[in-house]
Amino acid sequence: MDNTDLERRHSSPSKSSLWNQLTIPQQFASGSLNTFGYDLTYVRDNNTNPMAILVCDSKIAVVNADGDINTTPNITLR
């Protein structure tokens, strides 16, 4: 793995950059989760189904492209 890969993996995009990657339904759902202390951490984008990942302490929530919230996702953060 070259340094470019390392830098991309360890850099964190700005919150506004992440926010701009969300669909409108994801923005509404993420805003609702923000009121409960969740922070948008990253967006997993596989071109057909972007997934917003939000974290609050040790809790994880994901929001799919339609704005559906899952507070018990089967994912592991690294």
The answer to whether residue 35 sits within a structural domain is yes
The answer to whether residue 41 sits within a structural domain is yes
The answer to whether residue 29 sits within a structural domain is yes
User: Among residues of the chain, what percentage have pLDDT more than 90?
Assistant: 58
The answer to whether residue 75 sits within a structural domain is no
In angstroms, the CA 4 to CA 6 distance is 5
Instruction: Look up the domain containing 38 and give its range.
Output: 14-70
pLDDT score recorded for residue 49? 81
Mean per-residue pLDDT for 45-56?
86
The answer to whether residue 20 sits within a structural domain is yes
The answer to whether residue 9 sits within a structural domain is no
**Number of folded domains that form the chain:** 1
The answer to whether residue 78 sits within a structural domain is no
- Of 36, 49, 39, 47, give the one whose Cα is nearest residue 19: 39
Number of Cβ within 10 Å of residue 11's Cβ equals 7
3-class DSSP assignment, residue 4: helix
Q: pTM of the predicted model, to two decimals?
A: 0.77
